[in-house]
């Protein structure tokens, strides 16, 4: 993968950002991040090579740019999740989560299990809860995936696309190749495969989705 920054410099870059934004006495050093950076970048590379969007894949190889916010927000998720899974410590992944929130307005906690292949598109204001996600998940800004009043989270199929300001809450089961249009919302609803959701619950309309999310955004 072509990268704008070396692994060592990336560790230093992330640690400096954390310490500048959260200047407490629990300082994070590049040495704290380094044990996880190789696996993190391998996850980034695998994800990015399946994305056909501009800036993610160029000249036959995946591309990472630490100054491109979509890339960097995804990198921070992969890093915090890798630290969480490998070490079970909480300080570093918590600060990485808060860094992502401060820089990008993205609320995606380190213990949520996003799939191997997904994409954030301008994710400012997006909140991703502890739902079940599958590959080829795409989400835009100001989206919410969360629980209902009983604490039940949605289950998303493969190739789910959430356009800006869409909301999926509660005991929802979304099929494969489901698209939520801008401002669409639903709660505790079963959505079949190949469906386009428009409008707001309980009056949303379920239309046929004739386009493949995977073909539009990803490389299968």
Q: Quick: pLDDT tens for 127-165.
A: 999 999 999 999 999 999 999 999 999 999 999 999 999
Which residues, at least 6 apart from 24, have a Cβ–Cβ distance to it below 8 Å? none
Rg (CA), the chain: 18
Note the pLDDT tens digit of each residue in 49-81.
999 988 998 888 899 999 999 999 999 999 999
Domain with residues 118-217, CATH architecture? 3 Solenoid (2.160)
Q: Is the pLDDT of residue 220 over 80?
A: no
pTM: 0.97
Residue 67 is predicted with a pLDDT of: 98
Q: What residues form DSSP beta bridges with 119?
A: 138
CATH 2.160.10.10: which residues of the chain? 118-217
């Amino acid at each position: 993968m072509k990268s704008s920054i070396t692994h060592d410099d990336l560790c230093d870059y992330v640690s400096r950002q954390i310490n500048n934004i959260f200047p407490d006495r629990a300082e994070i050093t590049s040495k704290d991040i380094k044990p996880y950076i190789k696996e993190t970048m391998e996850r980034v590379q695998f994800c990015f090579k399946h994305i056909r969007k501009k800036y993610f894949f160029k000249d036959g190889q995946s591309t990472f740019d630490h100054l491109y916010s979509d890339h960097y927000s995804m990198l921070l998720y992969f890093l915090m999740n890798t630290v969480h899974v490998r070490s079970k410590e909480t300080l570093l992944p918590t600060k990485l989560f808060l860094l992502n929130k401060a820089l990008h307005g993205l609320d995606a906690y380190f213990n949520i299990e996003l799939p191997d292949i997904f994409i954030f598109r301008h994710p400012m204001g997006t909140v991703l809860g502890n739902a079940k996600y599958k590959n080829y998940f795409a989400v835009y800004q100001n989206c919410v995936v969360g629980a209902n009043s009983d604490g039940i989270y949605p289950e998303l199929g493969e190739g789910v696309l959430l356009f800006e300001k869409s909301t999926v809450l509660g005991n929802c089961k979304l099929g494969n190749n489901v698209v939520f249009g801008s401002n669409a919302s639903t709660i505790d609803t079963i959505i079949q495969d190949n469906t386009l959701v428009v409008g707001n619950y309980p009056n949303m309309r379920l239309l046929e989705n004739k386009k493949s999310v995977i073909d539009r955004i990803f490389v299968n």
